[in-house]
Structure 1
């Protein structure tokens, strides 16, 4: 959505983890260890083994852009230059901005789509390349990502179009900017392809006054997801995208995403911008569960908890608690960046259920990359099983992942060290804090209870040594 200016290896990993009691390298930055420590590799003798086996905890997505990335057509090359280090850190997928030529050509972030088939190769709207680069550079980026077994997700804007010419509109009795004559020669559009038309007057939502694409029109359906040379199948089968981030899905019915996914395939996540977990669940269900959704309910609860110094807010309703397999969690994105206490938030999403997303600026510029790499490794290798919340008050929050090996995460929002007795899933077992924030290595009792600690304004994450 546009920025709101408008306002196999599982068993092997487990065995190695349980047998290597004296291995202290875990507390070093992940990026410094992968090449030399066999713990971080599998039986595939290949630098890409991290992605071929994302670990029992699952993968991590990187939002590989932010609002107003540098113009000039070099962003694809910038992202491409990051892939080796992102692979080493454990990133398993990247999400790119909209790749098609938009109304504002070289200056557009892509959310005003004009020609879905101009990926930076036709001279229209003021440029050949898009803001991010050329079609050839895009394909090179995707191919390089695939060489690292990193998936690539496209940002798909289906609700609205922009940049059409004025025409007489028989459905409104006025002139509207609905005459699209793309230089690619594909998917011409006219007034009959937008709302209102002779099939339906409107759908779920109009955005920003742009012409509102009508997905009820068979011609539109054909060009978006049915045709073998249509948008979806061209992006997937020719360009090489592995999945989709659907923009502003409040603007059309969930059936649209369902039809796209059933006909095109690939991973799917929708931007249903709402802090109500029930509404997020309803939208996922409306796609016949073919799509995940960004967990805005989790996002806003984290903001209340960490910025409001009330960790009891984490007891609130979130999509991951209802439907963990369909929840994509995040701390910031190109549209909204409201959480100030980000490290607590990342510690939360990397230790809880859901598919966690890293924001480019957080990782590359604003936060401690070594700490984020550590959390990525913990997520992928230790954070398994369902979640039990063990304790929560204004300053402290403790939760347990009940898988094998599983973790206990301790969040402390106070200005002093805290300690607490908690029940684990481990009997008579030495545990350690895999963040290195505590040097304790306590042994759990026969009844699985143990005392753990957490530094002030920080977090600790415990698992078997």
Structure 2
């Protein structure tokens, strides 16, 4: 009996040793490795971004290529010419230049005090030959450089008021006014000479239907002489700018100062891209102007909704308000800043630096034609982010729009895409903490990523397209599919 027990114990020991050895090998040596050394397990693969360049949606972005009192004086055209190739690469397809002709302030003029419409820095008057921006030759080089890079050039046209003429007795006002423009008085080119009969009031028009801004030198567009020289004659301002200088379109300054038919007649005569500065936050007034003129209009209504929501009221419900892009998306030129808003001390007329990128994220994902302000783009703190937003705008910011959620501190919007273009979802938050929200997407069983690079979260939608996305504190994210 003792011998049998010893044999039993011996066999049991062999069996236990064999089992222990198998378990040890399974732990120490993963399949396919005979080294006997523990190998690191592969990390889960990061989702791969889609190639946005493969989704060119035909959109573009305009650059406002100046700010108030640009420096250095006499070098601005050359400065812009150097930047044009980089802007083209970033997705800019138009640049809006400041008024290019000689103003009363000469070498200090920003062009909004027009004196000689045909002096682009090639006549000596108002104590300078070059304009603040440079010479005519430098301007022509800039325009050609832009065209070589497939960028259109937009002329800022100031046709409400004139400045810098000579004194003459004005019988309709009963005193002397600065309304004499000829070769010796602020119009060295000798083209579009004018006198008091071309301004309000005169022998035909007894009152000024527009604003009283520069009332004594407010041009009367009902006069045939004025119409001929501004847009009708072969060498009119409009046709000279287009056919000789090479401008591709118009930014109409201060259209509150003259009737809408002026812009319509101008465009009927010469065509080209156009956008009007109708400074009014009422979306219905902007829409009426579009209908009367056929021109695009700066979407001041949307600008004020952004300012109210992000700055003044800190309530994103403001985004529900009226905006031109909601009724005429193809005619709305959206923006977050311009030369006037940035120099205006009124806090209700500009969007603060801390909120500006959220405003750019809004206009560069929504319908409308966005404008980038030079000073923002050239700000090293903003430039890379704006470039990325332009890339998103020109690729996946397309299709019908659907607001998925909005409250005081969150706004979620979906662009539905078109065809094979997946579209996007924008999530803006002004909360002090990270937010997450479940929304309905168009993407089923797909892993998403944030193309704004503000989140490393990679949610996956379910079989119905439901997905939970997030936005960082006081920031934004832009979601779309991955490969």
TM class by smaller structure: 0.7 to 0.9
After superposition, the Cα gap between the structure-2 partners of 1:148 and 1:443, relative to the gap in structure 1 and judged at 3 Å, is same
CA change 1:252–1:350 in 2 (3 A) is same
Alignment of 1:132-281 (within 5 A): 132-181=133-182, 182-201=187-206, 202-209=208-215, 211-281=217-287
Question: Could you tell me how far 1:356 is from its partner in structure 2?
Answer: 0.5
Pick aligned residue for 1:454 from 471, 476, 479: 471
In 2, distance between residues paired with 1:316 and 1:449? 28
Equivalent in the alignment of 1:343: 357
- Give the one of 324, 347, 372 matched to 2:329: 324
Q: Secondary structure of 1:86's partner? A: helix
Q: TM-score, normalised by structure 1?
A: 0.87
- Return the offset for 1:24: 4.3
Alpha-carbon distance between aligned partners in 2 of 1:454 and 1:150, rounded to the nearest angstrom: 35
Tell me by how many angstroms 1:366 deviates.
6.0
**Deviation sequence 1:126-183 (CA, Å, 0-9, x none):** 1111000111100100000011101110100010000111111122222211100111
Shift of 1:365: 2.1
**Aligned partners of 1:57 and 1:317: how far apart in 2?**
26
Q: 1:253 and 1:373 mapped to 2: Cα distance?
A: 38
Q: Which has the larger radius of gyration?
A: 2
Q: 1:425-436 residue pairs with structure 2 within 5 A?
A: 425-436=442-453
- Quick one: distance in 2 between partners of 1:245 and 1:324? 18
Residue 302 of structure 1 pairs with residue 297 of structure 2 = no
1: distance between equivalents of 2:118 and 2:54?
Answer: 40
SS in structure 2 at match of 1:255: helix
Aligned equivalents of 1:82, 1:454: Cα separation in 2 = 33
Partner residue, 2:384: 370
* Matching residue of 1:421: 438
- Note the C-alpha offset of 1:349: 0.4
The count of aligned residue pairs is 419
Deviates more, 1:108-117 or 1:193-202: 193-202
TM-superposed deviation, 1:445: 2.2
3-state secondary structure, aligned to 1:335? helix
CA deviation after TM superposition for structure 1 residue 286, in Å: 1.7
Q: Of residues 314, 318, 330 in structure 2, which corresponds to 1:313?
A: 318
Please list the CA deviations of residues 24-78 of structure 1 after superposition, one character each: whole Å capped at 9, or x if unmatched: 486xxxxxxxxxxxx6489xxxxxxxxxxxx316110110000010253100011
Show CA shifts across 1:254-299 (max 9, x none).
Answer: 1111111111111000000011111111111121x2x101111111
SS of residue paired to 1:166: strand
Q: Offset of 1:85 from its aligned partner?
A: 1.4
Question: How far off is 1:423 after superposition?
Answer: 1.0
Asked if the contact 2:200–2:215 (Cα under 8 Å) also holds between the matched residues in 1, the reply is no
Do the aligned partners of 1:57 and 1:384 also contact (CA within 8 Å) in 2?
no
How far apart are the structure 2 equivalents of 1:429 and 1:223? Answer: 61
Q: Does 1:352 align with 2:366?
A: yes
| Distance in 1 between residues matched to 2:202 and 2:404, nearest whole Å | 55
- Kept in 2, the 8 Å contact 1:418–1:453? The answer is yes
Name stretches of at least 5 consecutive residues in structure 2 with no aligned partner: 1-45, 343-349
Native 8 Å contact 2:199 2:216 kept in 1: no
Q: What's the counterpart of residue 45 of structure 1?
A: none
Q: 1:228 to 1:23 in 2, by over 3 A?
A: farther
RMSD: 1.6
Runs of 4+ in 1 over 6 A off after TM superposition: none
Give yes or no for contact 1:142–1:152 (8 Å, CA) kept in 2. yes
Conserved? CA contact 1:162–1:210, under 8 Å: no
Secondary structure of 1:419's aligned partner:
strand
1:399 matched to 2:409? The reply is: no
